[in-house]
Amino acid sequence: EAQVTQNPRYLITVTGKKLTVTCSQNMNHEYMSWYRQDPGLGLRQIYYSMNVEVTDKGDVPEGYKVSRKEKRNFPLILESPSPNQTSLYFCASSFIQKGTYEQYFGPGTRLTVT
């Protein structure tokens, strides 16, 4: 089944404790991206990657890191989480070369930082 998976789905952590949210897709998509969703703000892009070893900042990159060592994986790293990073996070992927650009989303990760 074609899908984007994220782990964990729910996470409660404390300020300053490093964490990683994993994202994996099995559709051989070149493009992967992370978004955060906050009430009243819609979804905002954090980072994206056009292909392996190619990443770029989105609209709200502060406090986050990413890496793209393999085509299928795009982990999101919070080195020192803070309460303002409490949010719902989505990973997404899509083809670029095939020119469709429609992004397939993972199920979301609900992060709470206390």
Partner 1 sequence: AQTVTQSQPEMSVQEAETVTLSCTYDTSESNYYLFWYKQPPSRQMILVIRQEAYKQQNATENRFSVNFQKAAKSFSLKISDSQLGDTAMYFCAFIATAGGGADGLTFGKGTHLIIQP
For partner 1, the binding residues (CB under 8 A) are 31, 33, 35, 40-45, 48, 50, 56, 58-59, 88, 90, 92, 94, 96-97, 99-105, 107-108
- C-beta of residue 76 within 8 angstroms of C-beta of residue 18: no
Residue closer to partner 1 (CB basis): 15 or 68: 68
Residue closer to partner 1 (CB basis): 17 or 57: 57
DSSP-assigned beta bridge partners for residue 23: 6
CB of 102 to partner 1, least distance (A): 5
Residue closer to partner 1 (CB basis): 85 or 93: 93
Residues contacting residue 107 through CB under 8 Å, at least 6 positions apart: 5, 6, 9
| Phi, psi dihedrals of residue 22, rounded to the nearest 5° | -90, 150
